[in-house]
Structure 1
Amino acid sequence: MNYRVIKENDLFFLTDESGDIPENHPYGPGLYTKDTRFLSKFDLLINNEKPILLSSQADKSYYAEMLLTNPHIEKEGEVELWRESIEIKRKRFIYKEVLYEEIIVKNYNPKRTAFNLSIHLDADFKDMFIVRGFQNGKTGVKEKTDVSREGMKLNYIGADEVKRELSVNWNLGPSRTSSEGDVYFDFNLEHDEEATLVLNMAPSVNQEKPQILPYGEAFNELMTSYAAWNETLTKVETNHKPLQKLVDRGLGDMKVLLTDLGYGKFPVAGLPWFGVPFGRDSLIAALQMLPFNPEVAEGTLKTMAAHQGTKKDSWRDEEPGKIMHEMRFGELANTGQIPFTPYYGTIDATPLFLVLLGEYLKWTGNFSLFTELEENVENALTWINQYGDRDGDEFVEYHQEASKGIANQGWKDSGDSMVHRNGDLAETPIALSEVQGYVYHAKQSMAEVYHLLDKEDKAAGLKKQAQELERKFEESFWMEDQQYYALALDKEKEQVGTITSNPGHVLFSEMLSKEKAEIVSERLVSKKMFSGYGIRTMAEEEAGYNPMSYHNGTVWPHDNSLIILGMSKTKNQRQAVKAMEGLINSSFHFEYDRLPELFCGYNSEKPVIAYPVACSPQAWAAGTPLLFVQSILGLFPDALKKQITINPMLPKNVDYLKVENMKIHKGTLDLVVRRTEERCETEVLKNTTGCETVMNDQIVKN
C-alpha cells in the first residue's frame, strides 16, 4: 500500500508514505470530508529539504506514525546540517472531525544544533469527482488565505453557495509565515534534546466548526471510544494465528469505516474513494457484522430507510420504495451536476435491505425495529413487484435511465461484466441470478415476520410469490448442458450463460434444492472457478475470462464470503472450508493481514498478484473473515423460533475456535469447537439467549 490513510467518522486523511500531500499525485491525496478536499498540499521540510523516510506505520487505520531524518545539507561548502542528525517523528489521528498531528524533533548531533522545520499548506476545495478525474463542472471561488502567528484559515465559497473553511492551528510561534501557506518554525536543541510541534486541522461547512481538544486529551478520548467498541463485540479465540489476525484486522477496519449521519453507525464502502453511504456495500457489510455487533445493522437499516426513494426521477434512477446506491455531499452533487443526492442505480440494494432486516430479526428478535420500518418494508416490497419487475415476469431486472448513471447495476457493475459465452455483451434490461436469490430471501423472511404478527394475508401473498419465483428461476436460469445456473437473463430473456460466481449467492437464500446446492457448491471450488486462493468471479476458459479484469476473473473476498456462508447454511461445509482455506492463505501476501477489495485470479502456483487499484481498508472485505467465523461454526440463529442451529466444520490447522459474548435474542452465547480424531466436538459454555441450541451430527456438551 503506497499511501497512508486514516479515518474517523466522516473525515479521512490520505497522504504518501512520508505523511505528505504531494501535488499532482495520482491517488489525489488530501484531507476529505463531505466529498470535498480541504487540504490539497501539505509538505514538511527541514532547512528547505525533504526529509528521508525511515519507516511508515499504517497497521492501524485510525492512527499513523512516520519516522524521518534529515539529508546531508551543505551550503557553499559549509555543513549546515550533518546527515541523520535530527530525528523527526510524525504521529497523527482524527477525533471528532479534527485532524491532530504531533511532530517531535530530536537532536542526535553531539553539539547544540539550530535548524528549521517548515510546513507548506494549501487547499483547492475540489469535489471528490473532480479530484478523481470523473467529472468537471461549474465550481466556486477560493478566497484569500488568512495567516497569523496562531494559525491559518483557508476559505472557499462553492457554486452551491456553501462556505467551506479549513482552520489550521499550531502550538509554537512561527519565525516566518506567508500568505501562500508557508510556515517556518526555528529550533535550537542541545544533544538529545527534543521539541514538539502540534498541528490541528479542522474543516468546517457553513460555519459548523468542531471543538478542538488538546492533543493528549483527544487521543485518550479516541482510545476510550475504541475500548468501548471492543467491549460490544463477540470475542473470538483460535489456535490458528492467520485466522485470528484476519478476524482482529477485520473488526478493527470495520470500526474505522463506521460513520453516523444521524441515524446510527453504519459502514461506508471503503477508503480512500468510497467513504460514503453505499446501499449494497453498507448492507452486506452490516450483514457480515451481525455475529459481532447487531447494532451496526440497525444503524445501516435506519440510514437506508431515511433516504428511500419517494418518486420517479430518471435523472437519479430513483423510484418509490427503492433503496439508494450511493450518496455524495460535494459541490457537484449539491448543484445537480451529478445525480448522487442520492443516486439509486442499483438493482440489489432494495431486496438486500429486506434480507438484512430479516436476518437482524433472527439474531435479535427486536420487533420494535420492524415496527419502526414497516412502511419502508412495504414500500420496498412494492418497488420489487412494480418497478423492479419491469415486465411482470416475476424476475427483477435493471435498466439505466440516468444519463450520468451506471449501466450495469448489480455488484459487478463494470461495463464488460455482463458477457455471453460467445463474448458478446448482454443488453439491458438484465435479470441477475443472485438478485433473484435476494428477492426470494427477502419475501420468505418478510412472510415469516408478517405471519408472527398475525398478518396472514400479507404472509401468504409473499410466500406464494417466493414459491413462484423459485419455480421460474429453476426453469429459466438452469443450464442443463452446463449443469449450472446462468449469470443472468438478457433483454430477450436469453440466458447469459457465462460461468460465474453470481449463482453462488443464491445458496444463502436457500432457494435451491439440496441436490442443486451441492452441484453449485462443487462447481465453485472446481479447478476452473477456484484459483487456490479463492473463488474467481468468472471461470477460466470463458470468453470473458481475464484474471486481471475487475469483475471477470479476479477474486473478491466479499463475494467468497457470501458464497461460503451459503455453503455452510446448505451443509456443504467441505466446499466452504476449501474456499476459506484459500483466502486465509492469500492473506500471507497482503500488508497488515488485511484482505483487499479484490486481487487477481491467477492460480496459486504463483504468489498472490494484487489488483492495481483496490480500496484498503474496504468494508465488505473487512467483513469477510467475520463470516468465516459464522460459517466454521455453522451457526444460524432464529430468535423468531427461539432456536440456534450449530453445525461446525474446522478448516485445516484450526484445532479449536472459541466465541464469547455473541449477542443473540435476549442474551449471549459462549461456545467452543474442538477438533477430535474423528470429528468436531462442540461445547456450549454459556447460553443466556433464551434460545435452544440444536446440533447436527456433532458431540455436544452443555
Structure 2
Amino acid sequence: MDYRVIKENDLFLLTDEKGDIYENHPNGLGLYTKDTRFLSKLDLKINGQEPILLSSLADQNYLAKIILTNPHMEKDGELILWRESVEIERKRFIYNGVLYEMVKTKNYYPKPVKFELSFHFDVDFKDMFIVRGFQTGKVGKRTRQSLEGNTIRFHYQGADDIHRATSISWDFPATSVTEDGDLYFNLSLSHEEEKVITLMIQPEIGEQVKEVIEPKKALDFLEQSYREWETNTTKVETDHPIFQSMIKRGIDDLRVLLTDLGYGLFPVAGLPWFGVPFGRDSLIAALQMLPFNAEIAKGTLLTMAAYQGTKIDTWRDEQPGKIMHELRFGELANTNQIPFTPYYGTIDATPLFLVLLTEYVKWTGDLELFKKLEANVKRALTWIDEYGDRDGDLFVEYYQEASKGIANQGWKDSGDSVVHRNGDYAKAPIALAEVQGYVYQGKIGIAEIYQNLGNLDLAKQLHSEAEQLKEKFNSSFWMQDQQFYAIALDKEKAQVGTLTSNPGHLLLSGILDEENAKKVSDLLVSPKMFTGYGIRTMGIGEAGYNPMSYHDGSVWPHDNSLIVLGMSRTKQSAAANTVIQGLIKAATHFEYTRLPELFCGYEDTLGHVVEYPVACSPQAWAAGTPLLFVQAILGLFPNSLDQTITLNPVLPEDINRLKVSQLKIGKGELAITIERKNGTLEVSIDKNTTGYNVTQNLK
C-alpha cells in the first residue's frame, strides 16, 4: 500500500507512508470520523525540511510506527546537521476518540546537536462524499481558530447546524505556535539522548468532548482490548506459514474494523472509504466470523435490526422491513442532500439478515436472540414477499427509486455489472440468481427455528414457500446450452446469460441439486473462470469481460470464500481446495499477506498479481476470507437445533496439518486436529464439551 491507515471504533487516520497528510492529495488523506475530515494537513519537518523515510509499518493496524531521519544540512559551507544524525520515530494510535502521536527524537551524532522540529496542521471539515469527488452541495464554514495554553482548536459551523472542532494539544514546551496551525519546537540533544513530544488530536462534534487519557495509559488500555479479543477468538495452527499468516492477518484486520453504534460490535465494510455500517458487507463479514467469534454476528444483527426500514420513502429506497444498505453521518447526509441516513438500496441485505440469524443460532443455540428479533424477522419476511417480489412471480427483484441511489443493487453494484451476452445492459426490475439463493436459505433456516420452537404452522408455510421458489428458480435460471445458471432475469423475465461468479453463491444455499452443484463448481474452476489466483467475477470471452473492471472480470476474495464454503457443503472438496490454494498464492503478492477488496483478473501465468488501483485494504469481507477457508477445510457445519456437528475435512495439497481450538459451539467448545500422514487423513477430536454428536465424513 502507498498509504498507512489506523482505526479504532469510528475514528481513522489515513496518511502517506511518512505519516503525513498533504492537502488536496488524490487519496484523500486525513483524520476522519462521522464521515467528516477533521484533519486535512499534518506534516512534520526538521529544520524546515522533509525528513527521509527509513521504515513505515502499520502491520498491527491499531499502532503505526514510522522511522525517519534528517537529510544532510549545510549553509554557506557551514555544517548545520550531518546526514542521518537524528532518528525520528513516529508512533501513533487511537483510543477513546483521540489520536495520539508520540514523536521520539534521538541523537546518533557523536556531539550534541540542535535542531528545530515543526508540525503544520490544517482542517477543512469536508464531508467524505466531497473529499471523494462524488458530490457537491451546500456546506457550512470555518468560523475561527483559538489558541489557549498548549491547545489549538479549529472551529466549523455546519450546514446541519452542528458545531465541529478539531482540538490539537501537546505535552512538551513549544518554542512558538501560530493560530494558522504551525507548531515549533527547538530541541537540543546530547549524544544518544532522546526526547519525546506527544500530540493529542481530538475531533469534537457538538458538545461531545471525550476525556483525553494520559498516552501510556491509553496505549495500555488499547493493547489490553486486543489481548481480550485474541483470548476470546478461536485459535488455529497450521504447518503452512503463508496460510497461518493470512489467518492472523484476517483476525487482526477484522478487530480493527469493529465499531459499536450502541448495539454491540459489528464490522464496518472497509478502509479507507467504507468505515461505516453496510448491510451486506457487515452481514457477510459477520457470517465469515461465526467460527471465530459469534458475538460479532450478534452485534451485527442487533445493529441492522435497529435501522430496519419502517416506511415507504423513495428518496432512500426504503420500505417497511427492509435492511439498510449504507449509513452515513456527515453534513450532506444530515441535510438530506444525499439519501444515506440510512440508504436502503440493496436487494440482498434483507435475506442475508435472515441467513446470518439462522446460522448464528445454529452455531450458538441462542434462541433468546431470535425471540428478541422475531418481530424484525417477520417484517423482513413480509418485505421479501410484498416489496421484494412486487409482481408475485416468487423472485425478489430490485428497481432503483432514489434519484441519487444505486442502479444495480446486488453486491456487484456498478452500473455495468449485469450485462447480456450480446453486450446490452439488463434493464430493471432485475432478479439476481444469488439473491434467490439467499431467500431460499433464509426461509429454510427460519422454518427450522420455528419448528424447534413449536410453531409448526409457520414452519410448514415457510418451508413450502422455499420449495416453490427452488422449483421455479431451477427452471427459470438454468441455461441448458451453457450447463450453468444465468446471473439474473431482466424486466422481460429473459435470462441474462453472461457467465459470472454469482451462481457460485447458490452452492451454500441448498437451492441446487447434487448434479447441478457439481456442474457449477466445475465451471468455476475451469480456465474460463479461474485465474490461478481465484475465481473471476466474469468469464473470459463474455461480452462484458474486462480483467481490469470492478465487477466484470476481477477477483474478489469474499466472493471466492462464499463459493468455497458452498463447495465444501456440497462436497465439491477438490474444487474448494483449488480455489483456496489460488488465494493463498495470491496473498503472497500483497503487503502483510493481506487480501484486498479485489484485484484484477489476469492469469497467474504473468507471475504476479495485478492490483486494482483503488481497492480498499483492509476490507472486512476480504479479511474474513481465510477464516471461512478454515471452516471449509474442516467441512464444519454445526446445528445447535438438533445438537449435531458435521465434519467433512479435506486438506489442500500443500497443507498437512490444521489444528483448531477454542471453537465455540452451543455452550461448549470443540478442538479438532486434522493431519495428513502417509497420504491418509487422520482426524482427532481433541476436546468436545458441546454435548453434541460429531459426525465425520472422511474421504
**1:51-62 to 2 correspondences below 5 Å:** 51-62=51-62
Rounded to whole Å, the distance in 2 between the matches of 1:685 and 1:194 is 51
Q: Say which is worse superposed, 604-613 or 373-382, in terms of deviation.
A: 604-613
* TM-fit CA distance, 1:666: 1.4
Aligned to 1:29: 29
Which residue identity is paired with 2:486?
A
> Is 1:522 paired with 2:525?
no
* TM-fit CA distance, 1:398: 0.3
> Is 1:353 paired with 2:353?
yes
Preserved contact between residue 662 and residue 669 of structure 2 (Cα < 8 Å): yes
Preserved contact between residue 149 and residue 174 of structure 1 (Cα < 8 Å): no
Rounded to whole Å, the distance in 1 between the matches of 2:616 and 2:690 is 37
> Is 1:228 paired with 2:225?
no
Preserved contact between residue 283 and residue 352 of structure 2 (Cα < 8 Å): yes
* TM-fit CA distance, 1:317: 0.2
Aligned to 1:332: 332
> Is 1:293 paired with 2:293?
yes
* TM-fit CA distance, 1:84: 1.5
Aligned to 1:69: 69
Q: Say which is worse superposed, 460-469 or 670-679, in terms of deviation.
A: 670-679
Rounded to whole Å, the distance in 2 between the matches of 1:648 and 1:121 is 55
Which residue identity is paired with 1:94?
I
* TM-fit CA distance, 1:24: 1.3
Q: Structure 1, residues 306-359: CA drift from partner, whole Å, max 9, x if none?
A: 000000000000000000000000000000000000000000000000000000
Aligned to 2:108: 108
Which residue identity is paired with 1:589?
H
Aligned to 1:396: 396
Which residue identity is paired with 1:616?
S
* TM-fit CA distance, 1:76: 3.7
Which residue identity is paired with 2:646?
T
Which residue identity is paired with 1:118?
S
Q: Structure 1, residues 349-375: CA drift from partner, whole Å, max 9, x if none?
A: 000000000000000010000010000
Preserved contact between residue 418 and residue 496 of structure 1 (Cα < 8 Å): yes
Aligned to 2:628: 627
Aligned to 1:379: 379
Which residue identity is paired with 1:400?
Q
Rounded to whole Å, the distance in 1 between the matches of 2:106 and 2:453 is 68
Aligned to 2:117: 117
Rounded to whole Å, the distance in 1 between the matches of 2:194 and 2:514 is 69
- Equivalenced residue count is 698
Rounded to whole Å, the distance in 2 between the matches of 1:354 and 1:97 is 33
Preserved contact between residue 149 and residue 173 of structure 1 (Cα < 8 Å): no
Aligned to 2:92: 92
Preserved contact between residue 649 and residue 698 of structure 2 (Cα < 8 Å): no
Rounded to whole Å, the distance in 2 between the matches of 1:525 and 1:123 is 50
Q: Structure 1, residues 121-170: CA drift from partner, whole Å, max 9, x if none?
A: 11111100010010011111212111234111111111101111111110
Aligned to 2:653: 652
Aligned to 1:273: 273
> Is 1:590 paired with 2:590?
yes
**1:421-432 to 2 correspondences below 5 Å:** 421-432=421-432
**1:411-450 to 2 correspondences below 5 Å:** 411-450=411-450
Rounded to whole Å, the distance in 2 between the matches of 1:109 and 1:74 is 15
For residue 220 of structure 2, give the secondary structure of its aligned residue in structure 1. helix
**1:114-193 to 2 correspondences below 5 Å:** 114-193=114-193
* TM-fit CA distance, 1:115: 0.7
* TM-fit CA distance, 1:697: 3.4
For residue 145 of structure 1, give the secondary structure of its aligned residue in structure 2. strand
Rounded to whole Å, the distance in 1 between the matches of 2:189 and 2:454 is 78
Rounded to whole Å, the distance in 1 between the matches of 2:569 and 2:385 is 27
Aligned to 2:613: 612
* TM-fit CA distance, 1:678: 4.1
Rounded to whole Å, the distance in 2 between the matches of 1:109 and 1:579 is 54
> Is 1:638 paired with 2:639?
yes
Aligned to 1:571: 571
Rounded to whole Å, the distance in 1 between the matches of 2:584 and 2:194 is 44
Rounded to whole Å, the distance in 2 between the matches of 1:56 and 1:111 is 28
Which residue identity is paired with 2:244?
Q
Which residue identity is paired with 1:39?
L
Pairwise CA RMSD: 0.8
Q: Structure 1, residues 100-136: CA drift from partner, whole Å, max 9, x if none?
A: 1100011122222111111011111110001001001
Q: Structure 1, residues 663-684: CA drift from partner, whole Å, max 9, x if none?
A: 0011000110111334321110
Preserved contact between residue 159 and residue 331 of structure 1 (Cα < 8 Å): yes
For residue 605 of structure 2, give the secondary structure of its aligned residue in structure 1. coil
Aligned to 1:482: 482
Q: Structure 1, residues 1-40: CA drift from partner, whole Å, max 9, x if none?
A: 0000000011000000000001111111111000000000
Which residue identity is paired with 1:630?
Q
Rounded to whole Å, the distance in 1 between the matches of 2:698 and 2:42 is 61
Rounded to whole Å, the distance in 1 between the matches of 2:364 and 2:604 is 40
Aligned to 2:492: 492
Which residue identity is paired with 1:242?
I
Which residue identity is paired with 2:438?
Y
Rounded to whole Å, the distance in 2 between the matches of 1:434 and 1:87 is 54
Identical columns (%): 63
For residue 553 of structure 2, give the secondary structure of its aligned residue in structure 1. coil
Which residue identity is paired with 1:495?
Q
Rounded to whole Å, the distance in 1 between the matches of 2:242 and 2:75 is 52
Which residue identity is paired with 2:365?
G
Q: Where does structure 1 lack aligned partners over 5 or more consecutive residues? A: none
Q: Structure 1, residues 163-205: CA drift from partner, whole Å, max 9, x if none?
A: 1111111011111111110010110111111111001111121
> Is 1:239 paired with 2:239?
yes
Preserved contact between residue 561 and residue 628 of structure 1 (Cα < 8 Å): yes
Preserved contact between residue 267 and residue 619 of structure 1 (Cα < 8 Å): yes
Preserved contact between residue 70 and residue 87 of structure 1 (Cα < 8 Å): yes
Rounded to whole Å, the distance in 2 between the matches of 1:678 and 1:590 is 32
Preserved contact between residue 282 and residue 300 of structure 1 (Cα < 8 Å): yes
For residue 58 of structure 2, give the secondary structure of its aligned residue in structure 1. strand
Aligned to 1:683: 684
* TM-fit CA distance, 1:550: 0.4
TM-score by length of 2: 0.99
Q: Structure 1, residues 43-87: CA drift from partner, whole Å, max 9, x if none?
A: 101111111111111212111011111112233443222221211
Rounded to whole Å, the distance in 2 between the matches of 1:281 and 1:241 is 28
Aligned to 1:212: 212
Rounded to whole Å, the distance in 1 between the matches of 2:77 and 2:165 is 44
Preserved contact between residue 56 and residue 66 of structure 2 (Cα < 8 Å): yes
Rounded to whole Å, the distance in 2 between the matches of 1:149 and 1:381 is 59
